[in-house]
Amino acid sequence: MKRFTVAVIAALLVSSQPAGAVPKTIAASEITKVAAIAEHEGATISGQGITIFSNAEKKVLVSSIDFTGAEKWKLVIEGSADQVAMAATSDKEGNTWLAGLTSAIDAVESKTATGAPINVDGVVVEPVPGLRNDLNTFTLWKISATGSLVSTYSDSATAPLLITALSHSSSGISILGDRGAGTVLINSTLAGKFTTAKTIGTAKSAFTSIVRNSDGSAQIYGASSETLGGKKLVGVRDGILAKVNKSGALTSVVRSSATKATRSWQSATSSYFLVGDVKVGGKNESAFTKFNASFTPTWTLRLPSQGAQLAAVAANGSHYALFNSSLSIPGVTGWKPSTPTSLVLRFDSKGVITQALKASQVTGAKTMAHIAGVGIVIVSQAGIFKG
């Protein structure tokens, strides 16, 4: 029985590794810059194009761009005394969902003065800039694929909230936020009916990626240095994979297992492909891991890095990862960075590297997606890129 157990463990260790060195040499090529774009807070990519948003004085500016870099439409969102958008996602129809905070509409004084004021000393009164209104309302905006504001849904935020991620499914929207004392999860139906905010963990935990399921449950990913779901801290800070039900309660928690490591998962796909950071023994690496629905790894790879950034799912079980590569990679030619530099890798279904794109121009990356017939698309502060 003991020998059988050892054999099973060995088999699992082997299956969690990619096929090792790539079967053939891959030459790193330059990613293509499609267009420069204006400074923005965030973006989302769908089959219909790219939507970016930015915040201006008392308004949210939204624009749509096609995959050649041409602008399709612009939209200005107003209506509240003040407003700010923080995160965006798209649905299959090409609608854009924005999440942010708004303030209540100012009450207007209806009384008017009956006479002109007397200024006997001739004092010149300088105008006083208005104070920023309290952003005390959580708001979702739905924008059509043609640039029309379809719906605005609001709910009292009750406390300041930094929205970090949101995910759409056929049953609604799931939103992750941070109030400084724990991650907050809010769910909404597609008709704008919000659930009560659910706090997950304390300030010792941070979840930055979410994937919502059709039944309203979700997977959330991040890092934690406290006990969660009955699972105690293993390393200095553990990478966390967790499942929550539609009420926001934790139903499953899987922690990274290195005892002296600082780990975090930065980005995840609906197919359970994750990229994250690993710091242990004086080494900095990015981890690329494909899990199954039970959070069991099917393959994994680590490479020297100074930070993981984004993950994307592609066709035929392949995936893309964007990270700051700091050393050459076995089997990838034409890649030997002198400083940490952005690189995009494509992995096949077994974890073998099949494409490498030099992405030194990609700074401040916001989002990445693979679009059929277009390829990998990245939106960053430096512009739109394709590969």
Per-residue pLDDT tens digits for 340-385 = 999 999 999 999 999 999 999 999 999 999 999 999 999 999 999 9
* Residue 241: per-residue pLDDT: 98
Using CA atoms, how far residue 274 sits from 28, 118, 366, in Å, is 22, 69, 16
CA–CA distance, 356 with 375 (Å, rounded to integer) = 13
Report the half-sphere exposure of 331 (CA within 13 A, side-chain side).
13
Confidence of residue 122 (pLDDT cuts 50, 70, 90): low
CA–CA distance, 67 with 386 (Å, rounded to integer) = 8
Give the lowest-confidence range in 108-122, 131-145, 223-237, 280-294.
108-122
pLDDT tens by residue, 322-333? 999 999 999 999
Whether the per-residue pLDDT at 231 is higher than 60: the answer is yes
> What type of residue sits at position 6?
V
Q: Are 360 and 342 in contact (CB under 8 A)?
A: yes
CA–CA distance, 152 with 292 (Å, rounded to integer) = 36
Burial of 387 per CB tally in 10 Å (0-12, 13-18, 19+): buried
Using CA atoms, how far residue 235 sits from 17, 157, 226, 256, in Å, is 21, 34, 10, 8
CA–CA distance, 90 with 170 (Å, rounded to integer) = 12
Per-position DSSP letters for 56-115, written without gaps between them: ETTEEEEEEE-TTS-EEEEEEE--SSSEEEEEEEE-TTS-EEEEEEE-PPPPPP----SS
pLDDT, mean of residues 306-316: 96
The candidate with the shortest Cα–Cα distance to 354, out of 308, 310, 387, is 387
Whether the per-residue pLDDT at 206 is higher than 90: the answer is yes
> What type of residue sits at position 79?
G
Q: Which two tokens stand for residue 12?
A: 């699992």
**What 3 state SS string does 33-52 have?**
EEECCCCCCEEEEECCEEEE
Whether the per-residue pLDDT at 110 is higher than 50: the answer is no
Per-position DSSP letters for 280-309, written without gaps between them: ETTEEEEEEEEE-TTS-EEEEEEEEEEEEE
